[in-house]
Amino acid sequence: MRSHLSSRVLRRAVIFLVASLSIGGCGTVRNPSLERARDAYQKARQDPLIVRNAGAALDRAQLTLETAEQLWAKEHDVNEVEHLAYIAEKRVEIARVTAERRQAAEELKQGGGRP
Amino acid sequence: MYSTGHLIQRTRAAWYASFAFVALIFFAGCSTARPPTAILRNAELEVRAADEAKADELAPADLKNARDKLARAKQAMAAERYDDARRLAESAQVDAELAGAKADARVMRQAADRILKKGDAPPSDAESESRKPLSPSPKME
């Protein structure tokens, strides 16, 4: 009798714990913001102008993107992942603009050196 | 008698343990929310830097984004919504960084285009005029 009752209590406790844990993470759900950021990053990574002229800026974008992906895989924290995806996308844009500035600076240097 | 008391004790212990576990998970999730003072300050500096780079003329939309978010970050901070304040300040910072980068890039592009045009283009009317010899041409005779 005693062992029967205590096993019921134990079973309820386990069900309660599993239920409360699984509310946080609900299977494999895709995150559109994260996918958009990843696409933008991959396009930039394939652009030799950006890789050559703004490698460090692109690496920063990559770091943010990786943090977002890890957080999405582990915790499914929608607010934080969407925030990080936004930051990553903007960092890709910063890399693109930085590359354009360096390109213009290079042209200026060559043009300015002409007679 | 002994067994019933023992059972009640064990049941209570199980409930306390599960409650403590759930509470631990809950508070672990909330413990990161502290006033993001330094992040807000960095965002302010970045907006000022973008301003100094003439982003209000050269990248007005991005600078406006940054300014709006910075203002909302300050409101969230005042309302002690620290997670919102941090996210808004981080977004404002990256928007301001982009605004500054765009402004710098446009200034550089304009300068490069001016130099390249000068080198490639034929002389303008005014320049041709100024290069003409001052003496009358022989055809006039």
Per-residue model confidence (pLDDT) at position B16 = 74
Q: How many residues does chain B have?
A: 141
Residue at B26 is within a domain: no
Cβ contact (<8 Å) for B25 and A83?
Answer: no
Residue at B71 is within a domain: yes
> Could you tell me the residue range of the domain that residue B67 belongs to?
36-119
Residue at B11 is within a domain: no
Domain containing residue B109: CATH number: 1.20.1270
Residue at B73 is within a domain: yes
Burial (CB < 10 A; 0-12, 13-18, 19+), residue B96, is: buried
Q: Which residue of B has its CA nearest to A14?
A: B18
The phi, psi pair for B103, rounded to 5°, reads -60, -45
pLDDT classification of B138: cutoffs 50, 70, 90: very low
- Kindly report, residue by residue over B40-85, the tens digit of the pLDDT: 999 999 999 999 999 999 999 999 999 999 999 999 999 999 999 9
- Asked if B81 has any chain A CB less than 8 Å from its own CB, the reply is no
- Kindly report, residue by residue over A45-104, the tens digit of the pLDDT: 999 999 999 999 999 999 999 999 999 999 999 999 999 999 999 999 999 999 999 999
Q: ipTM of this predicted complex?
A: 0.75
What is the least distance, in Å, from the CA of B117 to any CA of chain A?
Answer: 9
Q: Is the pTM of this model over 0.90?
A: no
Q: Are B79 and B36 in contact (CB under 8 A)?
A: no
Q: With the C-alpha atoms ordered B104, B108, B113, B114, is the resulting torsion angle positive or negative?
A: positive
Number of domains in chain B: 1
What is the least distance, in Å, from the CA of B8 to any CA of chain A?
Answer: 9
Per-residue model confidence (pLDDT) at position A9 = 73
Residue at B2 is within a domain: no
Q: Which of B95, B97, B117 to mutate to test the interface with A (most CBs of A within 10 A)?
A: B97
For helices B37-52 and B60-78, angle between their N-to-C axes, nearest 10 degrees: 160
Q: Are B99 and B63 in contact (CB under 8 A)?
A: yes
Residue at B133 is within a domain: no
